[in-house]
Amino acid sequence: MYLPIFAASASLLVGVAHGYASPGSCSGACNVHDPSLIRRESDGRYFRFSTGNKISYASSSSIAGPWTTIGSMLPHGSSIDLAGNTDLWAPDVHLVNGVYYVYYSVSTFGSQKSAIGLATSTTMNSGTWKDHGSVGITSDSTKLYNAIDPNLIKAGGNYYMNFGSFWDDLYQAPMKSTPTASASSSHNIAFNPSGTHAEEGAFMYEHGGYYYLFYSAGICCSYDTSKPASGAEYKIKVCRSKYPTSGFVDASGVACTNGGGTTVLESHGTVYGPGGQGVFTDPTHGPVLYYHYVDTTIGYADSQKRFGWNAIDFSSGWPVV
């Protein structure tokens, strides 16, 4: 997501790097922040969820569009009551036992008073979403983490929730066998000890015997009013492990809990500040990295951010776009 606005620590440019491919084409409703992507089993239609409008969502016949806006997932907001914190952010969509789950964040910008919620639908059609409220992962000023930017993964028959933003960065909590609630306490999986600990937006993806922990590092937002120093803007990094719960290192072997992180995608050409990413297995393109970014030929405002995607090459053992 995008909490809080601080200066980012120095980028760790390790390993595979470079020239980056331009984002894949997008038509229709392509302005988006913190996208999350899924393909409906019944008809192959794509659905994209994003920050704003009580979780905005859109659909398309392909990842490239044309994207058509459906509206708000939870037009009446969340049942989570955080005393005025009503913004819904950073959705994460999955199919769980035939039901579509969308996890979301409740917070306000710059606040650590946050919670992760859940809504479900069997079809993803407008008006069919049921809000389940909190999954039990919350934060306040007494916690080491900020409970936003949820990401669910199923590994070895178990569900885990990755989350976190700044403070002590990225955490993980085991979830119940039906992942509507956390099962036990959380532990740290990534931390940058320098600067303002500018890491958030975890997304875990299993490929080739490894669990890849993608995340966003740097300053995400308000580039139109306060552009960060060169290199301090958002970028996408990754660490990997043979296990879903610990041991994540970058391409140089540096632990992700000690500042490790290999850059996957950063500003290049007319692409600025890519982040808020996820990974999707597309039937045509294979593994795809999707994200939001600023197109510098259009504008730097948060409302002008665009939906980007690139096919991922894992042939080196590390994701390359």
- Range 172-178 contact pairs with CB under 8 angstroms and sequence separation of 24 or more: 172/245, 173/137, 175/135, 178/96, 178/97
Backbone CA torsion sign across 125, 127, 130, 133: positive
Catalytic residue among 168, 200, 233, 250: 200
41 catalytic residue (yes or no): no
200 catalytic residue (yes or no): yes
Q: How far apart are CA 167 and CA 113, in angstroms?
A: 12
Buried/exposed 286-312: b ≥16 CB within 10 Å, e otherwise: ebbbbbbbbbeeeebebeebbbbbbeb
Contact 209, 236 (CB under 8 A): no
Contact 3, 107 (CB under 8 A): yes
Strand pairing partners for 172?
Answer: 162, 187
Q: How far apart are CA 52 and CA 59, in angstroms?
A: 16
- List active site positions: 34, 200
